[in-house]
Structure 1
Amino acid sequence: MSEHIVATEAPAVAARGVWATVRRRPLFWTSLAALGVLLVVAAFPGPIAALLGQPDPRACDLSLSGQPPGDGHPFGTDIQGCDVLANVLFGTRTSLFIGLTTTALCLLVALVLGTVAGYFGGPADRVIARLTDVFLGFPFLLGAIVVLNSAPERTPLLVAVVLAFFSWPTLARLVRGSVRSVREAEFVQAAHALGFSHGRIVLGHVLPNSLGPVLAIATTMVGGVIVAESTLTFLGVGLVQPTISWGLQLSTAQTYFQTAPHTLIFPSLFLTVTVVSLIMLGDILRDALDPKGRS
């Protein structure tokens, strides 16, 4: 029974150790503050844009086409005379939605398949391993382009599902490896000896003790997904009007960079801050979850 108590308390002890490590790192608070601001913008783009004097991103005036930053338009206007600041603010919701939704779907699939493969092994492990090999052998960008090109309507949810469809294998392998390293632990063997069901062992002991590295990588993955969405949109196979996203703004601005560079600079700046903050947060969590990285 003592093994069961130790196993139950292990996740809480590990969480306290991780918190004690990350809270001493300025980069953790910097990235968390930046992401917090972006999440607030994504949740309330309308009120924030109205507060800044630009409530409607689709209120365009062709007579103001390509105006540089100035009074009334802090980020300037795009080629159609629309306010760049309002479009960047409203684009935050779409880009973060795709990044978070794709990562959540990948994590769900990876947890199910990776846990089954890592915990049970045998035929299930071999089948899932071959399935991940098939997906890993298929070019990610090419697959996404083919699927999105054949779609009648490219919505943010569809883009997220397509990106998740081609992105889950790497995360699933990480889950499998992490679960395999935990399933042989003494507290798991003790749970088997006490007659616990497989479901109780997996949910109560295996997953809580193997999720740390997976969640750290998943945090980093959000930034990669946002970049992937922007790349697909930049190539003309991602989101389409009237959707507002950073990728669409970059795709439109590339043609007018020499005459209106601000239309490219400001969406790129927001995209860069988001991706760098997510990568920093993921790296910090990964180091903190590694006992060697704690100091």
Structure 2
Amino acid sequence: MRRRDSHHTPGAAEPEDAIGGAGSEIDLAKAEGETLEGREAPPRGLWADAWHDLRRRPIFIISALLIVFLVVISLWPSLIATRDPLDCRLARSLDGPTAGHWFGFDTQGCDVYTRTVYGARASVAVGVCATIGVALLGSLFGGLAGFFGGVWDALLSRITDIFFGIPLILGALVFLAMITVEGIWPVVAVITLLAWPQIARISRGAVLTAKQHDYVQAARALGASNTRMLLRHILPNAVAPVIVVATIALGTYIALEATLSFLAVGLKPPTVSWGVDISIASSGMQFRNAPHILLYPAGALSVTVLAFIMLGDAVRDALDPKLR
């Protein structure tokens, strides 16, 4: 048994064993609990949680790096290709790879490497611009129809049924055959005109779902205007599926441009694009004797489309909690 010091100075702190016991242990545990609670990270929102998940997905990192590389060479192709893509000499037609000309030459004697690099500009530009147009037009019509309902919703449904009855490639062939203006903008306009119903359907469904949430009903009860409810409460919660579908569709539109150019109704020479080069390589079946003239532009097209589809799949998995 321990002796207590009888000469304790008044006002001094009590010895440790004097203040021990169950009460101090409970207080200490409570203090530690409050400290741990204070260190807990705040809950993440939908986009923060999605970004946290995407950073840990190799498929997202690989596809994002490929897309960044494609965007960079589309904007500044001279960074990795110093020659002129229109510098063609028939004397070197179908020649194989040589020093400084790593991919050889095509039927016109043009450097395949340079044309493959410069071809990214037109192909990616068509895909990006068409996706922006389709997303804006489809989100506008679909969102308004889903929010207001009634006659507007019925009208949109009938219009989209008409457009869904027109095959995309066949409709683009008909419209582009009647257009005499050359360049990327007629192709972008036709793709936007024919492809917006898909995004409209997705946007309509997302708005119908978001409109039923309690916070939207509370905002309506508090007197919020339709514009405020759409922009402040519904749009941030309905845009995720539109982004996913648009990301995947971007690769599809790049492939569609190449298909239309291959069929001689899309981009035309002297415009440099992968579809134009594939069309040139296929004419006369010259690629049988020189497969490199078809391999490189077709490979670049395939990698680009695959990168956007992989990115869309990763974003879809990150934004959809049911798929985690």
CA distance in 2, matches of 1:108, 1:94: 21
CA distance in 1, matches of 2:238, 2:304: 27
CA distance in 2, matches of 1:254, 1:69: 19
Where does residue 194 of structure 1 map in the other structure? 222
Q: Which structure has the larger Rg over C-alpha atoms?
A: 2
Q: Scaled by the length of structure 2, what TM-score is found?
A: 0.84
RMSD (Å) for aligned C-alpha atoms: 1.0
Deviation at 1:153, TM superposition (A): 2.2
CA distance in 2, matches of 1:14, 1:58: 48
Deviation at 1:139, TM superposition (A): 2.0
Where do residues 1-295 of structure 1 align in structure 2 (5 Å cutoff)?
A: 13-50=45-82, 55-255=83-283, 256-294=286-324
Contact 1:95/1:245 (CA < 8 Å) preserved in 2?
A: yes
1:2-59 Cα offsets, whole Å, 9 max, x none, are xxxxxxxxxx710111011111111110000111111100010133311xxxx20111
Deviation at 1:135, TM superposition (A): 0.7
Unaligned runs of 5+ in 1: 1-11
Unaligned runs of 5+ in 2: 1-43
CA distance in 1, matches of 2:305, 2:168: 20
CA distance in 1, matches of 2:56, 2:100: 41
CA distance in 2, matches of 1:251, 1:68: 19
Q: Which amino acid aligns with 1:278?
A: F
Contact 2:88/2:109 (CA < 8 Å) preserved in 1?
A: yes
Q: Scaled by the length of structure 1, what TM-score is found?
A: 0.93
CA distance in 2, matches of 1:257, 1:73: 18
1:247-284 Cα offsets, whole Å, 9 max, x none, are 00000111311011101100011111111010000001
CA distance in 2, matches of 1:84, 1:77: 5
Contact 1:148/1:154 (CA < 8 Å) preserved in 2?
A: no
1:257 aligns to what SS in structure 2? Answer: helix
Where does residue 5 of structure 1 map in the other structure? none
